[in-house]
Structure 1
Amino acid sequence: MSRASKQALHESPKSGAENLRPPYKEAWIAGALVFALYWLTLSPTTAFWDTSEYIATGHMLGIPHPPGNPLFVVLARAWSVLFTFFGLSVATSINLFSAFMSAAAHAMWFLVAHHILRYFSSDKLFRLVGAAAAVLVSSTSFTVWSQSNVNEKVYTVSLFTIALLSWLAVRWQENLGKGKDDNLLILMVFILALSVGNHLMAFLVAPAIGIFILVVHPQTLLNWRLYLVGAAVAIVGLSIHLFLPLRAGLQPVINEAAPACPDISSALSAVVTYGKAGCAALAEALNRTQYEKPPLLPRSAPLVSQVANYLQ
């Protein structure tokens, strides 16, 4: 990274107090418009692939295929209960949950894009239009739109997590030296650990955040207290996985992998080590043992084929 780029990250944009204030109102308007778009194009019922499984487990607090996605199940169930009085079908209600999470993610992306554009222009209208354009392109891209119209997977929750963590990273930068920066980092660690209970996809943002911290304020990484507190809150976040053995013990109708544990200590051990020790059934679910995934090396196909498949 060039010296000018590093300096830009450290310096505040040249603008007054009004321009420094995040445009929360405009962001939520953008999110509401995205939600309206998804609602208008929403699937009225279930669809192919894992849709029915996740809709059903979200409604009944069941356990889907490994790793069980406990955070998604709990959130989807809460959403389903809250929307009961609207008279919507279960499928429509949980499809709306997927749409809402994606729309909320795009409200976060609006804020992030607006913040980045502050380094390029002091014109407020330019930044708002640029952020709106970014949200429009992202929300209507094929994969995002299709995942937001029907709850085929758990990816819109991960999308929201990534967007939220990105915005918190921006707020951390803005609050450096104000006594709030460490708190934001701890919150980010908690959200990242909690999001593992939805899907490991959220960890895609972790390296980017690490590099961002290294560039903006590398001294932060030398604060050993952050590591101690971070480890503690990470364990709290990972504890969402205790839902799996607790619920499995009650024998729900959908109880894939049946990750029941004989006692709480073995369950905790499996959760803290993420399947490297402790309760065997829970460890196998967290590790996706049933899929027998091959190791990274040796490669099963040429790298060129993998890149070509990605581009496709």
Structure 2
Amino acid sequence: MTQRPSEGGSSKDYRIPEKREQITLSDHRPTSVIDTRTNTIIALVVFAFTLIVYIFTQARTTSFWDSGEYATCMSILGVPHPPGNPFYIVFGRALVAIFGSFISHAIIAAFVSCLTSALAVMFTYLMTVKLVSMFKLSKWDAVFAGVIAACFTAFSFTFWMNAIEAEVYSGLVFFVNINIWLILIWVEKSRDFSHQNILLLIIYVFFLGFGVHQTALQIAPAILFIMV
């Protein structure tokens, strides 16, 4: 408190306003709360366990809806119903060309969903660990939250059903999740301009996801909001 003389000779009390603490992005950046080796091992265990469960429960032939169409398009490198899923079909066709002589094409088409779903679950774990790290919790709290989020994703009814049949949604979720994880990596390292090439990778992965399913476009506003 400071006294300031007034024009009439008397003093007047007034308070100097205190400077408020401003919360900025730097106060809530994702951090690497767990060492890379441990985090990678846990992520791979989550991926392997999920993939094994999906393989044992996957469809052995074509199932309902678009599965037969996608399996056929992978076999002949055909064009599915508009607006199309070019990257999904080309990737499946590559696996058919390699393994199609001794494995059913329907099984290969379903395996594509198993593989991309397991990868999506793995990146659910990784991005959850990054998100939880923003709240300054311990590393094992982050790991526990990541594993729980991965399990809830992997074995939820809708996700599991799409993971074991020839469908594009598992591939879509994979590309959305990896993009979110890359954005969190970029936010963590955005002060270091040597890591700005991550932006190019984010854009590249985004358009790969667009080639799987056009609803990948839904995360574009979030990407622009965080980066701009």
TM over 0.5: yes
Tell me the residue number matched to 2:75.
59
- 2:51 and 2:31 map into 1 onto residues whose CA distance is 31
Report whether the alignment pairs 1:30 with 2:46: yes
Residues 186-245 of structure 1: CA deviation (Å, up to 9, x unaligned)? 1211222232222111112212222222xxxxxxx4xxxxxxxxxxxxxxxxxxxxxxxx
Listed one character per residue, the Cα deviations across residues 19-53 of structure 1 (whole Å, up to 9, x for unaligned) are: 35371221121011111111111111101111100
Is the alpha carbon distance of 1:119 and 1:82 closer, same or farther for their aligned partners in structure 2, counting shifts above 3 Å? same
Tell me the residue number matched to 1:48: 64
The answer to whether 1:89 aligns with 2:108 is: no
| Fraction of identical pairs, as percent | 27
Bigger Cα Rg: 2
Return closer, same or farther for 1:180/1:58 CA change in 2, 3 Å cut-off: farther
Q: Report the equivalent of 2:7.
A: none
Deviation at 1:6, TM superposition (A): 3.9
CA distance in 1 between counterparts of 2:98 and 2:189 reads: 35
1:100 aligns with 2:115: yes
Distance 1:83 1:123, change over 3 A: farther
Alpha-carbon distance, 1:121 to partner: 4.6
Specify whether residues 178 and 58 from structure 1 end up closer, same or farther in structure 2 by C-alpha distance, changes over 3 A only.
same
1:110 has 2:130 as partner: no
Superposed counterparts of 1:140-179, under 5 Å: 140-151=155-166, 153-179=167-193
Q: Which secondary structure state, in structure 1, belongs to the residue aligned with residue 193 of structure 2?
A: coil
Q: Relative contact order: is structure 1 or structure 2 higher (C-alpha 8 Å, sep ≥ 6)? A: 2
**SS of aligned partner of 2:108:** helix
Q: Does 1:9 align with 2:28?
A: yes
RMSD: 2.1
**Separation in 1, partners of 2:215, 2:192:** 32
Q: Helix, strand or coil for the counterpart of 2:89?
A: helix
CA distance in 2 between counterparts of 1:79 and 1:36 reads 18
Q: Is the 8 A contact 1:102 1:148 kept in 2?
A: yes
Q: Deviations over 1:263-297 (max 9, x none)?
A: xxxxxxxxxxxxxxxxxxxxxxxxxxxxxxxxxxx
The equivalent of 1:245 in structure 2 is none
Q: Aligned with 1:88: secondary structure?
A: coil
Unpaired segments of 5 or more residues in structure 2?
A: 1-21
CA distance in 1, matches of 2:31, 2:66: 45
SS at match of 1:113: helix
Between the aligned partners of 1:109 and 1:45, the Cα distance in structure 2 is 28
Aligned counterpart for 1:71 among listed residues 87, 93, 99: 87
Note the C-alpha offset of 1:157.
1.2
Distance 1:5 1:143, change over 3 A: farther
Shift of 1:185: 0.9
Distance in 1 of aligned mates of 2:144 and 2:103: 35
Give the TM-score normalised by structure 2. Answer: 0.82
- What TM-score results when the alignment is normalised by the length of structure 1? 0.61
For 1:72 and 1:196, the matched residues in 2 are separated by: 10
- Conserved 8 A contact 1:102-1:156: yes
Which amino acid letter does the alignment assign opposite residue 199 of structure 2?
A: L
Name the aligned partner's letter for residue 114 of structure 1. Answer: V
Alignment partner, residue 279 of structure 1: none
- Distance of 2:204 and 2:32 partners within structure 1: 33
The Cα shift of 1:140 comes to: 1.1
Cα pair distance change 1:82/1:104, threshold 3 Å: farther
- Counterpart of 1:248 in structure 2 is none
> 8 Å contact 1:138–1:144 — kept in the other structure?
yes
The match for 1:21 is 36
Q: Structure 1 residues 6 and 177 mapped into 2: Cα distance closer, same or farther (>3 Å)?
A: closer
Aligned residue number for residue 15 of structure 2: none
Answer yes or no: is 1:181 the counterpart of 2:203. no
- Matching residue's letter, 2:175: T
For residues 13 and 4 of structure 1, do their structure 2 counterparts lie closer, same or farther at Cα, with a shift above 3 Å needed?
A: farther
